[in-house]
A and B are shown apart, each in its own frame.
Chain A
Amino acid sequence: MATTPQTTGLIGSDGFHLHPADEAAMLEEMAHYEQPQAACIEALKIVQRRHGWVPDEAIVAIARVLGIGPAAVEGVATFYSLIFRQPVGRHVVLVCDSSSCFLTGFDELKRALVSQLGIDYGQTTDDDRFTLLPVCCLGACDGAPALMIDADTYGPVSAGDLPDLLEGYP
């Protein structure tokens, strides 16, 4: 693969285009730390905010911006549960399956989600609208059972609340 200098805004292969604003945001993040690698997670999130997920080509592009190997970036990308290495729907539903939610109706809520969305964990609806994933305790245990849709936390949520909640995310 030919080496591409940094800051061209056209890093990557297969037509993947690292947006110049994203590259600039990564460079700004790097300034917060002693070593550029520390901006790795944020760089992945920057790409994800624009594309919804992190394609292979973006891994290479981020590695070049940070000045580290693609394997290091890939290692990080595959470790963290909120970095998506395959396409997800327009909205991600994170359902809390930890103890307090488990004790207050998680099973019923999960069943209702599976039935209303027609998908299970790790799957995306046919219309690319929703992806369903489990998440660690959301720290909303006094509002259990809880879930997140994109950046919004809801709780307590009953199965009956779901149609109205989901409708807000077209």
Chain B
Amino acid sequence: MRQAIPGQRDSRRYRSRLLQPEAERHADTHPLTWRLRDDGEAVWLDDYLRKDGYQSVRKALDDGDPQAVIASMKAANVRGRGGGGFSTGLKWSLTLQGGEMPRGYLVCNADEMEPGTFKDRLLMEQQPHLLIEGMILGAYANNSCYGYIFLRGEYVESARVLNLALDEAREAGWLGADINGSGFDFDIAVHTGAGRYICGEETALINSLEGKRANPRAKPPFPGQSGAWGKPSVVNNVETLCNVPAVILNGADWYQTLSGGRTDDGGTKLYGISGPVENPGLWELPMGTTGAEILERAGGMCGNRQLKAWLPGGASTGFLLPEHLQLPLDFDTVGKEGSRLGTGLLTVVPDHQSMVALMRNLEEFFARESCGWCTPCRDGLPWVVKLLQALEWGEGEEGDIELLDKLAADCGPGLTFCAHAPGAAMPLQTALKHFRHEFEQGVRKPGSKAHQDPIPVGEV
């Protein structure tokens, strides 16, 4: 029997990491990551408290004005870091509260599953108390009685670290009844999922939290009006919530300066890059950092490869070209170029990669992960996959590309319950726009042999 080499298996174990050493990170410039340790171990409560931990909660509860928390978030213009880019302060100001309205729920969307995205994992595995602190502030602002961290089931290490940190916070009186003598009660549970990308859609997430199939709900009513169990509910991404403590502690004006005039959006962003680059990874950088700088930090493309195209923030964003590398990566600028900032984690495509094959891979993902609720998504996406498969094999028919245009248009915004289908349409439409000739090459020439193998049916 072959002898296992000790340690080799462990050396292949994946560990989340930030590619910025502690010496480069400071409290006034890196609100999300300055506390992270170079050894990659989690920042536990003692360490966290030494680094200003829970000071924002103390401040907000001492001030005693939840509306002031919302006002600060609005002024700071913290935009949703899960990819939506909606103003967090505005979302919170729309949560029903007061009068006869029962207290609702604060739900942290930790269902990180957007292809190409690996940022929330880092925050949860290495700095769980920052998320807990942000959630306490969110709950205070929105009058939430209880919080859930909706965590994807595969994030086993995140679950372990978060549960230990929640125990620590509870033990120290930062969670539970009468937090820090304020009279405010709030606690948090980790709710782990069991797969399915659609759980990241906020209304599908609420259905999943309630123990149902994760189909999206019609909006309105929005979760802030009627969410989990009909109560006002706020759903925020992990990174979004991790921004709240520094905003409350240092103020909206300070937060605005973090982006250094690169963009109207304030703050920093956990940017990252993956695909065939020399050093794929994550960095906390000013909002509005360019794609060029991120690619440079990653040491450029692998080997002698050239950049052909890139996705700015996950599979559901539109393809950009090398010429777009100079643009500041913020929500509005990227939006104007026909894409979306999304999660802000770049995926690069090398020059030798077939765009048809890549699109087939992306659409297989969207087709498989469709919840099946709406027809354009449930039936349209598998059809898209079959067409792309045929084009990839050089067996496309005349009209297939026009059909792809049509199917993508039918998945557009407003035609389905949620953003899953529009998310599937955007990369396809931009790929067809920028690389149409590649798709055209997949159409069978007149006189060439008929399909050697039938296109598989029912495999997606």
CA distance in complex: A118, B349 (Å): 31
Chain A interface bracket (under 10, 10 to 19, 20 to 34, 35 or more): 35 or more
Encode B107-139 as 1/0 by CB contact (under 8 A) with A.
Answer: 000001111111011000000000000000000
B9-17, B59-67, B246-254, B389-397: which lies at the interface: B9-17
Whether the Cβ atoms of B276 and A76 lie closer than 8 Å is no
Contact status of A99 and B194, CB under 8 A, knowing A38-B209, A142-B272, A164-B8: no
Whether the Cβ atoms of B280 and A142 lie closer than 8 Å is yes
**Chain A, 78-100, CB within 8 A of any chain B CB:** 79-83, 94, 97-100
The verdict on A143 contacting chain B, using a C-beta distance below 8 Å, is yes
Whether the Cβ atoms of B345 and A141 lie closer than 8 Å is yes
How many whole Å from A8's CB to the nearest CB in chain B? 23
How many whole Å from B367's CB to the nearest CB in chain A? 12
Whether the Cβ atoms of A139 and B192 lie closer than 8 Å is no
Whether the Cβ atoms of B12 and A98 lie closer than 8 Å is no
CA distance in complex: A141, B113 (Å): 11
Instruction: Report the count of interface residues on B (CB-CB < 8 A).
Output: 67
Whether the Cβ atoms of B358 and A99 lie closer than 8 Å is yes
CB-defined contacts of B117 to chain A, threshold 8 Å: 137, 139, 141
Whether the Cβ atoms of A139 and B212 lie closer than 8 Å is no
CB-defined contacts of B450 to chain A, threshold 8 Å: none
The verdict on B299 contacting chain A, using a C-beta distance below 8 Å, is no
The verdict on A127 contacting chain B, using a C-beta distance below 8 Å, is no
B153-161, B374-382, B438-446: which lies at the interface: B153-161
How many whole Å from A62's CB to the nearest CB in chain B? 10
The verdict on A14 contacting chain B, using a C-beta distance below 8 Å, is no
The verdict on A168 contacting chain B, using a C-beta distance below 8 Å, is yes
Whether the Cβ atoms of A155 and B275 lie closer than 8 Å is no
CB-defined contacts of B369 to chain A, threshold 8 Å: 136
**Chain B, 178-230, CB within 8 A of any chain A CB:** 189, 191-197, 208-214, 228-229
CB-defined contacts of B210 to chain A, threshold 8 Å: 33, 35, 37-38
Whether the Cβ atoms of A167 and B4 lie closer than 8 Å is yes
The verdict on A114 contacting chain B, using a C-beta distance below 8 Å, is no
Whether the Cβ atoms of B9 and A168 lie closer than 8 Å is yes
The verdict on A140 contacting chain B, using a C-beta distance below 8 Å, is yes
Whether the Cβ atoms of A140 and B118 lie closer than 8 Å is yes
CA distance in complex: A152, B11 (Å): 12
CA distance in complex: A103, B196 (Å): 22
The contact sample of 15 A-B pairs, CB cut-off 8 A, is A32-B191, A37-B212, A66-B211, A83-B194, A102-B361, A103-B347, A136-B115, A136-B365, A136-B369, A137-B365, A139-B152, A143-B14, A143-B280, A152-B13, A164-B4
Q: Give the 6 A-B residue pairs with the shortest CB-CB distance, closest first.
A: A81-B195, A40-B211, A141-B274, A98-B115, A80-B194, A82-B195
Starting from the known contacts A103-B275, A136-B113, 15 additional A-B residue pairs (CB-CB under 8 Å) come to: A38-B211, A97-B361, A97-B365, A99-B116, A100-B116, A137-B315, A139-B117, A140-B16, A144-B275, A146-B14, A156-B12, A157-B12, A164-B4, A164-B9, A165-B12
